Amino acid sequence: MNFTKPASRKFSTSILAVLGSLFLFGCEKVKEQQPERFEHDISISIPKAETGERTREAGEIIIDIRENGDVIINRNAITLVQLKQRLELIAKEFPDQSVILRGGANTRLQKIVDVLDQAKAAGLWNIAIATTKPE
C-alpha cells in the first residue's frame, strides 16, 4: 500500500505560489510604467484661477516646472531634450495622451512656453495647465 499523498497536489501548490508571485510582480511593473500618475512635487505652489474645471484622468503625465526653471517628471529633473525624447516615445504609443503642466506662480513664462513647445513637437496636443481656485 502507498500512504503518500499524490504528487499532483504538491505540484499544484507550487504552481499557485509561482502564479501569485508573477501577479504581484506584474502589478509592480504596471505601477512603474506610469509613475507620472502618482507624481506630486511639494515644492510647486500652483497659481489660482477663478474659472476652469477639469477632472483628473488616469495615466495623465504631470510635468512640474519649478521657479528656478527645473523641469521635473517622475521626481527627476530632466533637460528639454530629454523631455522631448520621452514625450515622443509616449506620443507614438498614446497619441491622445493628456499632459498637465504645473508651475509656481513665479515660474517664468518662457520656461512654460519651452515645455509646451517640446510637447507640441513630440506630437502631443492634449495639454492643460494646472491651477487652483482662490480661497
Predicted TM-score (pTM) above 0.75 = no
CA 7 to chain centre: 46
DSSP state of 53: -
Give tens-digit pLDDT for 110-133. Answer: 999 999 999 999 999 999 988 666
Report the Cα–Cα distance between both ends of the chain, in Å, rounded: 81
Least Cα distance to 123 among 79, 84, 69, 77 occurs for 84
Q: Has residue 64 got a pLDDT over 80?
A: yes
What architecture is domain 36-129?
A: 2-Layer Sandwich (3.30)
- 18 pLDDT tier (thresholds 50, 70, 90): low
Question: Please, which residues have CB within 8 angstroms of residue 118's CB and are 6 or more apart in sequence?
Answer: 80, 83, 84, 87
Per-residue exposure over 48-66, b if at least 16 CB sit within 10 Å of its own CB, e if not: eeeeeeeeeeeebbbbbbb
Give tens-digit pLDDT for 71-101. Answer: 999 889 999 999 999 999 999 999 899 999 9
Give tens-digit pLDDT for 103-115. Answer: 888 889 999 999 9
Rounded distance, CA 44 to CA 67, Å?
Answer: 8
User: Quick one: pLDDT at residue 105?
Assistant: 82
User: Quick one: pLDDT at residue 34?
Assistant: 47
Does residue 47 or residue 62 have the better pLDDT?
62
Give the residue extent of every domain in the chain. 36-129
